[in-house]
Amino acid sequence: MNMAIDNANKGLQLAKAKEMNLQAITSGLQQLKDKLQLPRMPLRIECYDISNIQGVLAVGSMIVLEKGIPKPAHYRRFKIKTVTGADDYAMIQEVLRRRFKRAAGARELNETTPQKDNWAINPDLILIDGGKGQLSAA
Per-residue pLDDT tens over the stretch 12-60 = 676 666 777 888 899 999 999 999 999 999 999 999 999 988 778 899 9
Fold entry, domain 44-137:
Nucleotidyltransferase; domain 5 (3.30.420)
Burial 12-45 (b: 16+ CB within 10 A, else e): eeeeeeeeeeeeeeeeebeebbeeeeeeebbebb
Q: Is the pLDDT of residue 116 over 80?
A: no
pLDDT tens digits, 87-102: 889 999 999 999 998 8
| pTM of full prediction above 0.85 | no
Q: Please report, as a single letter, which amino acid is at residue 104.
A: A
Which pLDDT score, from 0 to 100, does residue 10 have? 72
Locate the domains of the chain by residue range: 1-40, 44-137
* E strand or H helix that includes residue 3: helix 2-35
Q: How far apart are CA 29 and CA 7, in angstroms?
A: 33
1-5, 62-66, 101-105: segment of lowest average pLDDT:
1-5
DSSP, residue by residue, 58-86: EEEEEEEEETTEE-GGG-EEEE--S--SS
